[in-house]
Structure 1
Amino acid sequence: MDNLELLSEYTSFLNEKKAEGKKIIAFMSHDNIPEELFDAAGFVPLRMIFAGNDELMDASHDFLPPSTCAFAQSCIGLFSLKPNHYQFLELIDYFVISNHCVSDICASEIISKYFNIPRLNFYISYTINETSLRYFKLELRDLIEKLEEIRGSQINNEELFKSIKKYNDFKKKIIELNNLEIKGSLKLKIIQKSILFGPEILPELEDFIIQHQLNPDQFNNKTKDIILTGCSIFINDYLIDLIEEAGGNIVFFDTWIGSNYFSQIFNDEELSLSKDPIDLLAHRFKNNIYGDHSVPNFLVNKTSQIEHLYINYKNKNGKKLGVINHIIKFCDHISIMSPHLKSRLQSNGIQVLNLERDYARANRGQLSTRIEAFLEMM
């Protein structure tokens, strides 16, 4: 399935949900938005996981300077231009304003204000301690109250637990997908589609996994295997093509569109013993130590995670892994940490490419050259 077909299918999906009377809640995709609350309210979460291009970035400059994160620029550009295959953005009922980063909150506020989409606030502490956990619970309860006002009735704990379990089972299935030995671009497409459609795609996801377990893909085992960390590769981004054309294969996506999403699961004991869904969601926030939102200790946690992945992969497959640290231009969180991440990993013998770029078409040649040189060095 190419991306135009995916977007067409998603438009039909959202139109069906609107016809059923469901509200659509959009937000800039990151790993601390509790989509289970929207599901429990009977609404449809819409993650903004779409890459940009020159036109989308240029269209945002009426609202923010070009020195803003290219992903945030592109999100604004989508609402400004409403390209043909993104007409489903007209179906959005509410936009969540959150503070994963400065660009996130600025872009979200602009989208809400200038494109007349009512806002829902959900702010998150940058630290993880007892005080921030109490604050997170307050934000959860406040968001639930707002959702209850919209739907006109209370959201009970049974509904919340049901949605938490549904998304938990869904993420476990994506972990099964992630463990398949398939080409990185194919894995990414299925992960992207799964996160976009949510648990309703579970039967299709299960069929895909079974088919590839019964009939494993045969692809070139001479590829240079890669961990992608940093910023996500979003829908309609050509970066994955450049990596594979150069002889690389991404075996692990250490990003929002990847492990930062599906790794946040509960075990059966946690689900069965919990009496309060708010406590359960706060527990997940506390354990999310690898997301770039949380400070301090992000750098230590992230490098330790990558080193663990590297060692396990090398022991299992007898091959080294390279690391591409994908930095979307003007992404403060990833760019600030990038020299330190590279230095720490390379001091332990792990080769790293800090690859900073925006979505401009003119960058393709330069990006290809840098990726090819890195893979040859491996």
Structure 2
Amino acid sequence: MSLSLSENSSTPAQGLQLPPLSLYVHVPWCVRKCPYCDFNSHKADGVIPEELYVEALLQDLISELPAVQGRELQSIFIGGGTPSLLSPDAYQTLFDGMRQHLRFADDIEITMEANPGTFEQERFNGFRKTGINRLSIGVQSFHDSCLQELGRIHSGGEAIKAVAMARAAGFDNINLDLMHGLPGQDEAMAMADLQQAIELKPDHLSWYQLTIEPNTVFWSKPPTLPEDETLWSIQEEGQKLLAEHGLQQYEISAYSRTGRQSRHNLNYWQFGDFIGIGAGAHGKVTDLKRGVIYRNWKTRQPTAYLEAGKLIKEKPFQAGVRELETDELPLEFMMNALRLNQGIEAHLYSERTGLELSDIQFAISKLKSQELLADDNRRIQPTERGSLFLNELLEHFCS
């Protein structure tokens, strides 16, 4: 237990304000489950019941409307699974239904994850016409041998073609998901992957190391991964290469061109609110009237989720809900905010937790003296050293 926090923390609510609101939509189906994936994804056997699923999503959204509290949506992120397995018509119906209940910001960012398989590429034009204006393409690697090890169903060539087709469809805001530290990958291969990604001129790059998560095939049958020394070298050289080509790191694994940071993810990291709809989706909401912040999550299994809409109860799709305790909030806030290289404006701590900044001032001062936080009273920002020892830094905000 850390002794860094004040023993007499404030009760949330006094300074609490409503943060920006985002929406997460989960599509749980994939063509095949990848051995490293721990997300709520399920192999699609036969035809996906997309009409029924969209109907359920809209029912789910209606049950969440009290959480909106008069706000307009700043961003929508459609993740999975493989969201590009649903048709453009399905998304048009979904967005039309959403607009009957919610106000979209004029400059709303709507992101959809897509895989580079040929089947999805043919739909890019249709996706763009629905209002989806940001595409996140799951490349992972351009080496076919690495893709095979990862259980991916596309080739490196198809990934390159997918980006070209997305541009041709009118997408001017594209993220590429790229991993390193893969089975059978050496430093030269990792850097070649990164160079190829750079040559495709993405607006944003999510570049991160493969980690082995519980409840995955890789967890039960671990592959041989590169040594730590190789991983460190890849990280160092990769960051230099990205910076040289105008992709600036703004979060632990996120790099972007100027003005192209993911607005949806920034809202997560700045402790904003988000509603989650879909099988297994999670949400985080500030209830201003009650002065509490809560997290909730939805039924995970697609079949059970589709059946939930028939239940006669207030929130039929909700599998669980939990109010965050006062002593949890400092760590909850910092786990998100300190992922950002620039940190967060100090006043947002009180506005988004309802707690006084003075409650954690001892911890902040101590971390500044250790050069883990920047010496700036207007921001709570990790130093370069602090970002390297983030877990150690966060321990100071545990109750």
State the TM-score, normalizing by the size of structure 2.
0.25
Tell me which structure has the larger Cα radius of gyration.
Answer: 2
More strand by percentage: 2
State the TM-score, normalizing by the size of structure 1.
0.27
